[in-house]
């Protein structure tokens, strides 16, 4: 399954696809453009492993493509030094935008 097919499947299941770890791609801009066309709604920009410069770069990428700059902890429960689920600092506006989009796409959703 390609990344674009994964995004399409998430959309079909009424989910909100977000690109995690965008800096692992050689060209984050190109993959963002490709996946936005498939239904991408956000980019993981706020992550403890990123420098302030990387966060700003990813927030700018999200803004340029009208995507939500989300956060992630990458918590797997294996290492006690990992950022716990919900431990990534991000602006409340990002959360509010994600919730609003979820409610818009599924008005019966209880959040």
Domains belonging to the chain, first-starting first, are 3-86 (3.20.20.140)
Q: Is the pLDDT of residue 92 over 80?
A: yes
H helix or E strand, kind and range, residue 55:
helix 52-64
Q: What is the mean pLDDT of the chain?
A: 88
Task: Find, among 66, 11, 62, the residue nearest to 39 by Cα.
Answer: 11
Per-residue model confidence (pLDDT) at position 18: 96
Summarize pLDDT for 17-45 with one digit per residue, the tens. Answer: 999 999 999 999 999 999 999 999 999 99
Instruction: Name the region of 13 (left: φ>0; alpha: ψ -120 to 50; beta: rest).
Output: alpha
pTM for the whole structure: 0.85
Q: Buried b / exposed e across 32-59, counting CB within 10 Å, b at 16+?
A: beebbebbbbbbbbbbeebeeeebebbb
Supply the DSSP symbol for 82: S
């Amino acid at each position: 399954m390609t990344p674009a097919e994964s995004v399409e499947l998430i959309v079909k299941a009424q989910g909100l696809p977000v690109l995690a770890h965008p800096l692992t791609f050689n060209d984050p801009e190109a993959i963002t453009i490709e996946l936005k066309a498939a239904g991408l709604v956000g980019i993981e920009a706020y992550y403890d492993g990123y420098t302030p410069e990387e966060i700003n770069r990813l927030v700018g990428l999200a803004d340029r493509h009208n995507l939500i700059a989300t956060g992630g902890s990458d918590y797997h429960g294996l290492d006690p030094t990992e950022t716990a689920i919900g431990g990534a600092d991000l602006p409340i506006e990002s959360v509010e935008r994600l919730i609003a989009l979820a409610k818009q796409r599924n008005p019966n959703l209880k959040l």
